[in-house]
Amino acid sequence: MDRAVHLDGITKRFADVVANDDVTLEVEQGSVHALLGENGAGKTTLMNVLYGLYEPTDGRVVVDGAERTFGSPADAIEAGIGMIHQHFMLVDPMTVTENITLGNEPRKWGGLAVDRRTARQEVRALSDRYGFAVDPEATLTSVSVGVQQRVEILKALYRGADTLILDEPTAVLTPQEVDELFTVFEELTDAGKTIIFITHKLGEAMRAADEITVLRDGEGVATVAASETTRESLAELMVGREVLIETADRPHEPGAETLRVEGISVTDDRGVTAVDDVSFSVREGEIFGIAGVDGNGQSELVEAITGLREPTAGRIDFEGEDVATWSRRDRIDAGMAYVPEDRQERGVVMSFDLVESGILGSHHDEQFTANGRIDWETAREHASEIVETYDVRPPDTDTKSAALSGGNQQKFIVGREFERDPSLFVAAHPTRGVDIGSTEFIHERLLDLRDDGDGVLLVSSKLDEVQLLADRLAVMHDGELMAVVDPDDVTEEELGLVMTGEEPPRRLDSQRVDGGGS
Amino acid sequence: MTLRDRIERGLARLVAASTAERFAISLAALFASILVGTVLILAAGRITGCSTATFVLTHPTPFGLSRLFEVGFCYNPVTVYDRLFLGALGDPLSSGWDPFGRQMALTLRETTVLLFAGLGVAVAFRAGIFNIGAQGQLVVGSLASVLAVLQVAPLVGGVLGTAVSLSVGLAAGALAGGLYAAIPGVLKSYVDANEVITTIMLNFIATGVVGYLVLNHVKDPESFATQTRTIPDHANVPTILFEPTANFSVLALGVGVLLVGGVYYLLAHTAFGYDLRTSGLQPEAAEYGGVNSKRTIVASFGLSGALAGIGGAVYALMILGKFQTGVPSYGFDGITVSILAGNNPLGVGFAAFLFGVLKSGAGVVNFATDVPPQLVDTLRGLIILFVAMPEFFRLLGGRMKGVTRRVNRDESGGETDG
């Protein structure tokens, strides 16, 4: 078979950091190729080179046998390459057709007006050819995330893409939608298209790809056929050492309730009810997990508990007191630690160095501040401790927070919050974008915290994560808690169904929401 | 690369510049402005007519070569810039330099008032607030200080009287300016009113109300001007080292320098400063870190206004000895001073000095040459524009998502995974 894409010895250097070091990638036409690697391995950088966003410092880009130099994505698109970014580049109020044809609309009246009818017909034809069930006239806001992703794919195809690059395409999807996406992959490759997708999930690479190229620390480690490898060997290639994929289930003894949420309702920024009459409790020595597809009210719920958003109704009892109207600072002082969902917006101040970011939230605490004066020496020691204990790289407290990779920022934040010695630990997506090694580490710490008798509220859209860690597990959908279950009693498929809003199976419904659990 | 890409790349380069690079950029901008200004002076000098040229452009004629060209200009750019900079400092290069001379006093006098105004604006900027209202706060502080001193000064005499009335005057200026600035602070915090608009409007209100008060309630009956009575002699700011008629006191400059240090310490070493900077840089992170954003906004505004108010007090007590309507636009100049200094309190000192030099130097140029004052003002404006623009674009770039993303990406080595 012909090679659709051949990246030959690509090196990409940023200032003094090498993001890609002599990486070679060969993708056969009509195949699905997974680019697998931990966070910061250089996967996205490599694809940005192929898509013309970066110019390589060294190396050749060969597309369909011809060497190309891309000055911008426009050049790459012209060469038949399309990229679907992790965050969709779509316009919400527009229709599917308008989004797909945006910038390339068929014209009429000598180019003066958009020929909407032709546009619609073309989009429908395209959608039908690949078996996408997409309504060309639906507005974007009215379709699911999975469909929006297909709109992105159609947009690339409409622009004449033969090779599609997808950056972490499954991150925002439910298990069912992931299945559908992989079916779409098959349809596309059957029609001769080539697919490269970026992922850090082993299972997905094994399932969907024909070939897998593993990147580690900016270097291409190996390219293997998916049918001839195992999860274990892939994990080892990614991390560079052996990895325990399962965390042992340790016995534990939950104690009294530390957090009790009762009938809480919260509105989002637009004033729409995002959390509707939710009740649950977290006990000492217990990890309470909340699973769900992003955007079903988890963020608002967590913000209400941690004091960043005022609930419109309900009680939040923390250690026996109703804290629903307490300020954020009072809640921190009372022993609530919080790993926020959006680390770069909230978790650290990007232009602060680690010493400064390390005392965020405790900068009025007497540990660091006496009579309003911050003791920067103590703060520096504190930051070095976090950096050392939680293996933050580079291990230099004078580094600006912004200069850390996402995974290392997350390790730093998680470390800082653990060091608070909290009685309740609220973690929103604590391992999102974090590599396997660090994920393992963070999971261990969460279990340690539980074993020490602290309460943990874990919100995650990764099903395997909540299933692995949680002692009791709730699924959130459309602002409501659908069911509270023992995670060992349910399958991923059953949970996936509940996540999409299906009624939970009868046997799952039997437990009370604030009830006994495991 | 699209135009947008190019602009963002340029701004990102500016945002990421180090302190030394920024200093070099400012210096280069200063020279560029002088270059452009020279062209302007020459052009203006060709357009006007004069009997003798003060500046002749020609070339040497060695070995008896014939002269190819000789162009005369009415204004000499070398003299203009020499007077503007060296003249403002009282000619430091000449043998009889008196560092405590009249011209130097004038320069430092302007510097001092701008120091307070600039510091006030800088504090607000660091908290993420655009305080265009420094002028209004300065005017209010100015009147308040004079009224307070007029009340207090007759009660205590002598050296003690000077000390008491000065402290009371500065305190009154700070309090009035601070309270006046707290208004837009409260409006922003609690009813989400944009501070740019409210502070601009409050500038007009300040001028109007103060004018009304002076005219109708505290006017000096013996004067035709809209002004208060003059403060007693012993309440004047004592002029040390400089001659009394220069209306400049090292004491006031000393207070300014102390406040520069104080504000720097506050921002860098206190928990309140941490609150303030975090709010300014990343409001969401501040909220997450338990910073009460509403209270921080009001407090920052108050502090900003208090500093501007002290500037007003110093202007009235040290320069005028009374309050008179038509306060020069120190508050607006303070915005430029702050931007010029990159909102760094230590930089405000230098920026205010540059402004002081230009203001006082303009007078020297007018005195020493035939260059029309309008042209001198243009030259001053050019210098400020050139020096401030890089910092201004830096400020702008720091607030643009696309630019900060670029800066962060370059620093983190292209890390965009996840």
Separation CA A18–CA A41 (nearest Å) = 10
Per-residue pLDDT tens over the stretch A380-404: 999 999 999 888 878 889 988 888 8
A498 and A438 in one domain? yes
A286 and A428 in one domain? yes
Task: Give the model's pLDDT for residue B1.
Answer: 58
A326 and A276 in one domain? yes
> Which candidate, B304, B108, B413, B284, places its Cα nearest to that of A218?
B413
Contact A364 B2 (CB under 8 A): no
Task: Give the model's pLDDT for residue B22.
Answer: 85
How confident is the model over B51-69, as a mean pLDDT?
77
Q: Which residue has the higher pLDDT, B174 or A256?
A: B174
DSSP H stretches of helix in A201-336: 202-208, 231-239, 298-306, 328-333
- Chain A residues whose beta carbon lies within 8 Å of the beta carbon of residue B2: 72
Contacts of B267 (CB under 8 A, 6+ apart): B123, B126, B273, B276, B277, B345
Does the residue A128 lie in any domain? Answer: yes
Mean pLDDT of chain A, nearest integer: 86
For residue B401, the chain A residue with the least C-alpha distance is A345
Query: Residue A513 pLDDT more than 50?
Result: no
Given A209, A239, A269, the domain boundary residue is A239
Instruction: Return the top range by mean pLDDT from A434-438, B49-53, B310-314.
Output: B310-314
Q: Which secondary structure element, helix H or strand E, spans residue B296, and what is its range?
A: helix B293-314
CA distances from A363 to A330, A337, A381, B141 (A): 13, 14, 14, 33
A39 → closest Cβ in B1, B404, B417: B417
Strand duo A424-428 + A455-460: pairing? parallel
A147 and A29 in one domain? yes
B281 → closest Cβ in A44, A71, A349: A349
How confident is the model over B371-380, as a mean pLDDT?
91
Per-residue pLDDT tens over the stretch B236-261: 888 888 887 788 899 999 999 999 99
A324 and A293 in one domain? yes
Query: Residue A290 pLDDT more than 90?
Result: yes
Given A191, A212, A239, the domain boundary residue is A239
Tokens of B334: 């303070």
Separation CA A516–CA A4 (nearest Å) = 56
- Chain B residues whose beta carbon lies within 8 Å of the beta carbon of residue A71: 1
Does B222 contact chain A (CB < 8 Å)?
no
A400 → closest Cβ in B271, B291, B411: B411
Query: Residue A274 pLDDT more than 70?
Result: yes
CA distances from B52 to A38, B42, B48, B364, B368 (A): 78, 15, 12, 21, 16
A200 and A302 in one domain? no
For residue B287, the chain A residue with the least C-alpha distance is A308
Does the residue A343 lie in any domain? Answer: no
Contacts of B230 (CB under 8 A, 6+ apart): B220, B321, B322
**Strands, E, within A132-256: which ranges?**
163-167, 194-199, 211-216, 219-225
B287 → closest Cβ in A308, A359, A364: A308
Count: domains in chain A: 2
Task: Give the model's pLDDT for residue A369.
Answer: 92
Contacts of A113 (CB under 8 A, 6+ apart): A107
What are the residue ranges spanned by the domains of chain B? 102-372
DSSP letter for each residue of B21-40: HHHHHHHHHHHHHHHHHHHH
B288 → closest Cβ in A346, A404, A406: A346
Task: Give the model's pLDDT for residue B355.
Answer: 92
How confident is the model over A361-389, as a mean pLDDT?
93
Q: Which residue has the higher pLDDT, A251 or B142?
A: B142
Does the residue A249 lie in any domain? Answer: no
Task: Give the model's pLDDT for residue A504.
Answer: 64
How confident is the model over B307-315, as a mean pLDDT?
97
In angstroms, the separation between the Cα of residue A43 and the nearest Cα of chain B is 7
Does B293 contact chain A (CB < 8 Å)?
no
How confident is the model over B287-313, as a mean pLDDT?
95
Q: pLDDT band for B188, please (50, 70, 90 cuts).
A: very high
Least confident of A120-124, A312-316, B116-120: A120-124
Residues A458 and A466: beta-carbon distance below 8 Å: yes
Contact A12 B274 (CB under 8 A): no
Task: Give the model's pLDDT for residue B67.
Answer: 75
Task: Give the model's pLDDT for residue A245.
Answer: 52
Does B272 contact chain A (CB < 8 Å)?
yes
Task: Give the model's pLDDT for residue A362.
Answer: 92
**How many other C-beta atoms lie within 10 A of the C-beta of residue B48?**
13
Does the residue A342 lie in any domain? Answer: no
Given A178, A213, A239, the domain boundary residue is A239
Does the residue A351 lie in any domain? Answer: no
The residue segments making up the domain with residue A186 are 3-239
Contact A406 B418 (CB under 8 A): yes
In angstroms, the separation between the Cα of residue B151 and the nearest Cα of chain A is 36
A235 and A259 in one domain? no
DSSP letter for each residue of B227-263: B-PPPPGGGSPP--SS-GGG---HHHHHHHHHHHHHH
Task: Give the model's pLDDT for residue A72.
Answer: 85
Does B18 contact chain A (CB < 8 Å)?
no
Tokens of A18: 């090498």
Residues A107 and A147: beta-carbon distance below 8 Å: no
Task: Give the model's pLDDT for residue A413.
Answer: 94
A301 and A168 in one domain? no
Task: Give the model's pLDDT for residue A309.
Answer: 93
A180 and A131 in one domain? yes
Query: Residue A372 pLDDT more than 70?
Result: yes
CA distances from B80 to A286, B48, B85 (A): 78, 16, 9
Q: Please, what CATH class does the domain formed by B102-372 belong to?
A: mainly alpha
Task: Give the model's pLDDT for residue A333.
Answer: 92
For residue B406, the chain A residue with the least C-alpha distance is A402
Per-residue pLDDT tens over the stretch B319-371: 999 999 999 999 999 999 998 888 999 999 999 999 999 999 999 999 988 88
Residues B403 and B409: beta-carbon distance below 8 Å: no
Task: Give the model's pLDDT for residue B410.
Answer: 54
Question: Is the pTM for the entire model greater than 0.80?
Answer: no
A503 and A479 in one domain? yes
Per-residue pLDDT tens over the stretch B150-183: 999 888 888 888 999 999 999 999 999 999 999 9
Does the residue A103 lie in any domain? Answer: yes
How confident is the model over A361-377, as a mean pLDDT?
92
Query: Residue A159 pLDDT more than 70?
Result: yes
Q: pLDDT band for B414, please (50, 70, 90 cuts).
A: very low
In angstroms, the separation between the Cα of residue A518 and the nearest Cα of chain B is 33
Task: Give the model's pLDDT for residue B72.
Answer: 84
How confident is the model over A117-124, as a mean pLDDT?
89
b/e B153-165 (16+ beta carbons within 10 angstroms → b) = beebeeeebbebb
A266 and A217 in one domain? no
Q: How many C-alpha atoms does A421 have within 13 Å on its Cβ side?
A: 1
